[in-house]
């Protein structure tokens, strides 16, 4: 069965008609602070990229409630196979802005040792956050394989695969859902329908009445939630996580939200996003909506919001300063993390590279010329 109307909890005035999200006041504040940290990280990275200090970033403005609402349903032992627009999932579970900034600068403390593009985060602690991939949809069958492995091991953990609406047009989406449906794998598929796949609008992405309905072809129930409503996302994902953990199988969730910025820092959304549509969705800003909810519970004031955002911005800016000052990865890291014992031919190549670096200086590029 597929729900055809989006599940919504928080009304425009912040009321919830008595809905209990199952979160303490402290946990609600943590959700709010995480969304603010995503905004601060976004703002800082945009300025760093425009200033030529990092090469690339992905805006998250407008989709924070989907990220954080979903993350609030997962245990530390669960696995996240994210898209590249999921900063809030990592931050919610305790990854620090500094750890993320090391990746943005590709320095020696980057978990990928500078081998990945910026925003391609990967963490083992404090959450199992698998490396983001640039190719669209590749994380979906990977999440299913992980879930199937946990099923075979009789572990009670869940994998969450997050992807955009454009990801539903990938081979990985269809093969992943097919395997998951057959195996009843403990996986949750979260489609963040933010209106655009770069410049391709959702209505040109599919002829289906929704993205959630696509699960029916694979024997997977589909659910549509209001992606700008953190509590609605939490309710939908929590039910899906509980279903997966109990052995009942996967769920496909479509979170309807809106990307209030470009696809990336390489994109100019003003060339294709209608101004009136952006203005309409700005009125549904997920952060403002959650603030109204918190205010109704006497947990938010304008002064508190300004204070928390200032703290988040200061933390992120300090992280950027420290990451920028951290040296790049050492040359020898090119040859690490692949073989348990380095093969002779690579050892020979490595020694030649080190000898060249000693004679000619560091192998870092300079002036646009090949460093050799």
Tokens describing residue 121: 């985060």
Residue 259 a catalytic site member: yes
- What DSSP string runs through 149-195? HHHHTT----EEEEEEGGGGGSHHHHHHHHHHHHHT-SEEEEEEE-S
Give Cα separations from 255 to 164, 258, 284, 344, 371 (angstroms): 10, 10, 14, 51, 47
* Joined tokens for residue 165: 């609406």
Length of the chain: 372
The dihedral of CA 144, 86, 123, 137: what is its sign?
positive
Catalytic residue, candidates 256, 263, 284, 289: 263
293 is catalytic: no
Q: Could you tell me if 144 and 161 are in contact, meaning their C-beta atoms sit under 8 angstroms apart? A: yes
Beta strand 222-226 pairing with 200-201: unpaired
Task: Name the H helices within 246-301.
Answer: 275-282, 286-296
Angstrom CA distances, 76 to 66, 80, 128, 294, stand at: 18, 10, 7, 26
Residues near 208 by Cβ (< 8 Å), separated by ≥ 6?
A: 214
Catalytic one of 37, 85, 256, 259: 259
- Find the catalytic residue in 50, 53, 272, 297: 272
- Is residue 292 annotated as a catalytic residue, yes or no? no
Query: Which residues are marked as active site?
Result: 259, 263, 272
């Amino acid at each position: 069965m597929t729900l055809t109307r989006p599940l919504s909890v928080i009304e425009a005035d912040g009321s919830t008609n008595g809905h209990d999200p199952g979160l303490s006041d402290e946990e609600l504040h943590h959700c709010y602070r995480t969304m603010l940290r995503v905004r601060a990280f976004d703002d800082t990275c945009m300025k760093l990229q425009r200033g030529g200090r990092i090469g690339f970033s992905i805006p998250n403005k407008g989709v924070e409630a989907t990220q954080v609402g979903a993350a609030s349903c997962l245990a530390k032992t669960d696995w996240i196979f994210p898209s590249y627009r999921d900063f809030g999932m990592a931050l919610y579970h305790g990854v620090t802005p500094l750890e993320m900034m090391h990746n943005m600068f590709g320095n020696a403390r980057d978990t990928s040792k500078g081998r990945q593009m910026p925003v391609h985060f990967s963490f083992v602690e404090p959450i199992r956050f698998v490396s983001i991939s640039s190719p669209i949809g590749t994380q979906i069958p990977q999440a299913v394989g992980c879930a199937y492995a946990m099923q075979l091991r009789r572990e009670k953990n869940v994998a969450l695969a997050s992807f955009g609406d454009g990801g539903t047009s990938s081979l990985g989406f269809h093969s992943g859902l097919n395997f998951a449906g057959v195996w009843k794998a403990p996986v949750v598929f979260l489609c963040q329908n933010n209106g655009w796949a770069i410049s391709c609008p959702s209505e040109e992405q599919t002829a289906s009445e929704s993205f959630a309905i696509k699960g029916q072809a694979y024997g997977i129930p589909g659910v549509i939630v209001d992606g700008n409503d953190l509590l609605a996302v939490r309710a939908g994902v929590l039910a899906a996580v509980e279903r997966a953990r109990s052995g009942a199988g996967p769920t496909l969730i479509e979170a309807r939200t809106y990307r209030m910025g470009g696809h990336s820092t390489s994109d100019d959304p003003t060339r294709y996003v209608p101004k009136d549509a952006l203005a309409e969705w700005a009125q549904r800003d997920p952060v403002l909506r959650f603030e109204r909810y918190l205010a109704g519970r006497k947990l938010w004031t304008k002064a508190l919001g300004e204070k928390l955002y200032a703290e988040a911005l200061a933390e992120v800016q300090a992280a950027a300063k420290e990451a920028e000052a951290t040296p790049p990865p050492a040359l020898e890291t090119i040859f690490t993390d692949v073989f348990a014992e380095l093969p002779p031919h690579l050892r020979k190549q490595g020694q030649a590279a080190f000898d060249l670096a000693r004679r000619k200086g560091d192998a870092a590029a300079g002036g646009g010329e090949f460093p050799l």
